Amino acid sequence: MKRTLFLTALVLFAFVGIQAQTIDQVLEKHYKATGHEKLAAVKTYYVKAKMSMTGMDMPMTMTIQMKKPDKFRIDMDVMGQKIEQGYDGESGWMRNPMAGSGITDLKGAELKQAMNQADLEGELYNYAKKGHSAELTGKVNADGKEAYRIKFTNADGSVKDYYLDANTYLISKIKAKVESMGQTMDVETKVLEYKEINGIKIGSKMEVETPMGAQSMTWEEIKLDGPMDDAIFARPKE
């Protein structure tokens, strides 16, 4: 009986080791494919993008600015209405005239999302050191292509699924639950194209599906390691 239990324990430990090795191998190929070692050395990141809602004549523009170790800002212009959100490494804020006047402080799930967005390297990179966990759940068919599905659990408890193309090891799709204005919604992001800048592959064209409709986003301008003042991330004075 003891021998049987011992052998069972050995098999279980071996299985855990194989699983851990498999997720590490897949992610190592992902890091190599995207040039993550070079991305890890980048200090600032700037993107200017155009957006559109499927079936609606509603052009939108967006800029994203990030600065290590943990600063993030996004600005959107929707039909002349400017929406701003920022995180300065300690607190988050938002100004959205469509949801009311003034500046509001981010709290709860929205604050956690802003903190996660401030990770310039991406949450999959060195995930364990950041307190996250990742589990390889197998190969699946993702929009007609084979992909590795990774169940990613953030240190804050939120869960999302990453799909890595089985041939390129680049992210092809992400499924997540997102908190917005007090509501939780399912969001699916498909990465359709990548641009290579300084040896780093960056998703440059995406389709985002939400219960409110589909959006397309195209990165028109990308700048790495440009000058960026800390003041732009701070909560503006009202």
Q: What does the buried/exposed string (b/e) look like for 38-69 if buried means 16 or more CB atoms within 10 Å of the residue's CB?
A: ebeebebbbbebebeeeeeeeebebebbbbbe
Average pLDDT over residues 205-221: 90
Q: Are 51 and 158 in contact (CB under 8 A)?
A: no
- Per residue in 23-54, pLDDT (tens digit) is 999 999 999 999 999 999 999 999 999 988 76
Domains of the chain, first to last: 2-233 (2.50.20.10)
Lowest mean pLDDT among 54-63, 90-99, 143-152, 202-211: 54-63
Q: What is the pTM of this model?
A: 0.84
Dump pLDDT digits (tens) for 120-139: 999 999 999 999 999 999 99
| ω into 69 cis (within 30 of 0) | yes
